[in-house]
Amino acid sequence: MNDKDYMEFLNKANEIDFQSNRTDKFELKSLDQNLEIPEVLQKATQEAYYISDADEPFVPVVLKVKDGIPDEVSFAELVNHPEPARAQVRIMDTNRWDPHGQYKMIIDSVKQVTRNDQIRVYQIFLSNTMSEYWLVGVKDEFLLGVKAVAVES
């Protein structure tokens, strides 16, 4: 088997594995209707990927929020989790989520768009091996930032 065939084989295997882990039961909301995505977030997410077992792109998050940065249950409600009270959500700071500075550009973009250094990372578990990381902050009455799917076996 030559290198090209081997790479095609690996890519196909990863695609099948990723699809089998995906949950089709629900999709979490990351953008409220009639809200514009800030240019800073559009640019930051153009070529940015979260590196895991399946490298997935970062996508912008723009949601209306009341009462500032949400707790775990409020966050699950905000993103339309089907069972917010039972959702597995973990909150962490950016240093714990990115201890090696690999996502500094993404973090800086979220800080810039929120004009706030208080950025949180929410990890919401979708299955045993799949979760979404939401890097967000609050500006005015909006939760702004990015999210990415992570597959971690």
How far apart CA 151 and CA 146 sit, in angstroms, is 17
Q: Which pLDDT score is estimated for 23?
A: 42
Q: pLDDT per residue over 13-32, tens digit each?
A: 555 444 444 444 578 999 99
Are 113 and 106 in contact, with CB atoms under 8 Å apart?
no
Q: What is the DSSP letter of 81?
A: -
Q: CB-hemisphere CA count at 13 Å for 56?
A: 23
Cα angle 82, 85, 91 (rounded to 5 degrees) comes to 100
SS3 (DSSP) at 96: helix
How far apart CA 56 and CA 72 sit, in angstroms, is 23
> Residue 20 is encoded by which pair of tokens?
């089998």
Low-confidence ranges of the chain (pLDDT < 70): 1-25
Q: Which pLDDT score is estimated for 7?
A: 64
Q: What is the CATH number of the domain that holds 14?
A: 3.40.1460.10
Strands 56-57 and 49-50: antiparallel
Query: How long is the chain?
Result: 153
Q: Which domain holds residue 47?
A: 3-151
What is the total count of domains within the chain? 1
